[in-house]
Amino acid sequence: MLTNKNIILGVCGSIASCKSASIVRLLVKSGANVRVIMTKDACNFITPLTLSTLSKNPVHLNYFDPETGAWNNHVELGLWGDLMVIAPASANTLAKFANGLCDNLLSAVYLSAKCPIYFAPAMDLDMWKHPATQKNISTLIGFGNTIIHPGYGELASGLIGEGRMAEPEAILEFLNEELKKKLPLKGKRALVTAGPTYEAIDPVRFIGNHSSGKMGFAIAEELAALGASVVLITGPTSLKLNHAEIKRIDVSSAEEMLEAALKNFIKTEISVLSAAVADYRPKQISQNKIKKDSSEFVIELIKTPDILATLGKEKQAGQILVGFALETDNEEENAINKLKKKNLDFIVLNSLKDVGAAFQNDNNKITIIDSELKKEVFKLKPKTEVAKDICKKVLDLLA
Ligand code: C5P
């Protein structure tokens, strides 16, 4: 969630400043770019060297560097952040920010920042309870800022009560949840099929195809990154998922894929069926390995169920159903026929004539045709980027 996010961490003077080192470490571990701003008092509790080493960036202390005289551009820094966290936030800093005072770099960056801002207060219990502090907290919330509430426990004064800064792990968890809430597909459920299916001939052999599953996996990852809870039903593939929250169901045959898809479809707002399902399967599956005694060998084939068409029949209002068409000739005409026949919201067409696209490749070249026959042609690009184009179309339809 925090990968590649630009985080400004403000550190104020408090015994909890020591925990800022853990916050920086956890943010960096999550893939965030971190720039730390410290107040003068914070430097009495933890050194800028510690935080610059952990954040892999120089720590900002003043409007200008006293050695070089170089100007620290607070506006630029404020605009750089995707998110600003002040942890620990002292009573003094909360009071200053609530009243728009601007006498240090941190307060100037706060006033310049346009991103969401989070405060993790840390102070003694009576300071926290004081009406002045509580009024400042209400004012800051009124400005659209968010408070990460302090916990109950032993305080530096030896007293026990509320005022302990939230633990670094809890702060990270809080930020992750906040970012998730802002994702456009938060609360939506998605179903994706990927890969080939294997239709058994005997215990050793099968009928299959060259699908790698890369396109379906990329779509599942992108839907999850946009906040959807994703179920990925995949045929045999060696691919691994990066997103920990995608529920993966491994199947082998078309029948198994259909069963899993039907179980999940009813609860799903978005379904993207990209699997290259085998169209036929052997009528009989031999229980034992078939011997190569005769010079000719005939297998009787019967049709597999069409998963996409089955879901198209079940589709209710509010469900988006997307299919793929891999064609070699009359591409658009065939794709439009499938779009109509299978009751889809849009179809993703890729042609085997496009060099470097489709099966096994890391790239794909697609055309999206929707139910109003509006057509969008895309350039050859990595499947991860193609997945973004497909999900953008889903977002457009939802909007
Ligand atoms: O009809 P055709 O196989 O070309 O349609 C391709 C689309 O239908 C793909 O989205 C594929 O995942 C889906 N499909 C399916 N079950 C089948 C055959 C295709 O879900 N048996």
Q: What are the tens digits of pLDDT across the range 11-51?
A: 999 999 999 999 999 999 999 999 999 999 999 999 999 99
Do 241 and 337 sit in the same domain of this protein?
yes
- In whole angstroms, what is the distance from residue 242 CA to residue 357 CA? 23
Among 215, 277, 324, 350, name the best residue to mutate to test ligand 1's pocket (greatest count of ligand atoms within 8 A of Cβ): 277
Phi-psi region of 272 (alpha: psi -120 to 50; beta: other; left: phi over 0): beta
Query: pTM value?
Result: 0.80
Q: Is 104 a catalytic residue?
A: no
Number of domains observed in the structure of the chain? 2
Instruction: Determine how β-strand 346-351 pairs with β-strand 320-327.
Output: parallel
Decide the pairing of beta strands 247-250 and 229-234. parallel
Answer yes or no: do 204 and 220 share one domain.
yes
Do residues 198 and 171 share a domain? no
Instruction: Show which of 143, 161, 181 is a domain's final residue.
Output: 181
- Contact between 50 and 19 (Cβ < 8 Å): no
User: Residues 73, 202: one domain?
Assistant: no
- For strand 117-121 and strand 146-147, is the pairing parallel, antiparallel, or unpaired? parallel
Q: Which helix (H) or strand (E) holds 82?
A: none
Cβ atoms within 10 Å, residue 293: 6
pLDDT band at residue 358 under the 50/70/90 scheme: low
Instruction: Answer yes or no: is 82 within a domain.
Output: yes
**Is 288 inside a domain boundary?**
no
Catalytic residue (choose from 6, 209, 264, 334): 209
Q: Which amino acid is at 151?
A: G
Here the CATH number for the domain that contains residue 366 is 3.40.50.10300
Q: Is the pLDDT of residue 139 over 90?
A: yes
CA-334 nearest atom, ligand 1: 4
Residue 1 domain flag: no
| Statement to judge: residues 278 and 361 lie in one domain | yes
Q: What are the percentages of helix, strand and coil residues in the chain, rounded to 5?
A: 35, 25, 40
Give residue 265's pLDDT. 97
Output DSSP code: residue 166: P
| 277 touches ligand 1 (CB under 6 Å) | yes
Residue 254 CB–ligand 1 contact under 6 Å: yes
Tell me what the mean pLDDT of segment 125-153 comes to. Answer: 96
What does each C-alpha distance from 118 to 7, 88, 330 come to in angstroms?
Answer: 11, 10, 56
Q: Check pocket membership of 306 for ligand 1, CB cut-off 6 A.
A: yes
pLDDT tens across 261-279, in order?
A: 999 999 899 999 999 999 9
Domain assignment present for 287:
no
pLDDT in tens, 62-113: 887 777 777 778 888 899 999 999 999 999 999 999 999 999 999 999 999 9
Q: Which residues pair with 86 in a beta bridge?
A: 10, 119
Task: Choose one of 146, 181, 216: the last residue of a domain.
Answer: 181
Pick the closest to residue 35 from 18, 19, 51 (CA basis).
51
Three-class secondary structure of residue 197 per DSSP: coil
Q: Ligand 1 center to residue 386 CA distance, Å?
A: 19
Domain with 201, as residue range(s), is 189-282+295-398
Q: What is the mean pLDDT of the chain?
A: 95
Q: Are residues 74 and 196 in the same domain?
A: no
Residue type for position 349: L
Q: Are residues 246 and 139 in the same domain?
A: no
Q: Read off φ and ψ for residue 374, nearest 5 degrees.
A: -75, 135
Percent of the chain whose predicted confidence (pLDDT) is above 90: 86
User: Quick one: pLDDT band at residue 367, thresholds 50, 70, 90?
Assistant: very high
Whether residue 289 is contained in a domain is answered as no
Kindly state whether residues 356 and 326 are assigned to the same domain.
yes
Whether the Cβ atoms of residue 347 and residue 325 lie closer than 8 Å to each other: yes
Q: Is residue 391 part of a domain?
A: yes
Does one domain contain both 152 and 252? no
Token pair 């310049």 is found at: 112
Asked, for residue 70, whether it belongs to a domain, the answer is yes
Reported as a single tens digit per residue, the pLDDT across 154-174 is: 888 888 889 999 999 999 999
Q: Are residues 204 and 223 in the same domain?
A: yes
Please name the residues in contact with 372: beta carbons below 8 A apart, sequence gap of 6 or more.
none
The residue-averaged pLDDT of 382-394 equals 97
Rounded to whole angstroms, the Cα distance separating 34 from 128 reads 28
Which of 264, 273, 326 is the best mutation target for the ligand 1 pocket, counting ligand atoms within 8 Å of the beta carbon and taking the most?
273
First-to-last CA distance in the chain? Answer: 23
CATH number at residue 177: 3.40.50.1950
> Please, are residues 119 and 132 in contact by the beta-carbon 8 Å criterion?
no
Burial class (CB in 10 A: 0-12, 13-18, 19+), 242: exposed
- 244 & 141 share domain: no
Does one domain contain both 159 and 206? no
Q: Is residue 290 part of a domain?
A: no
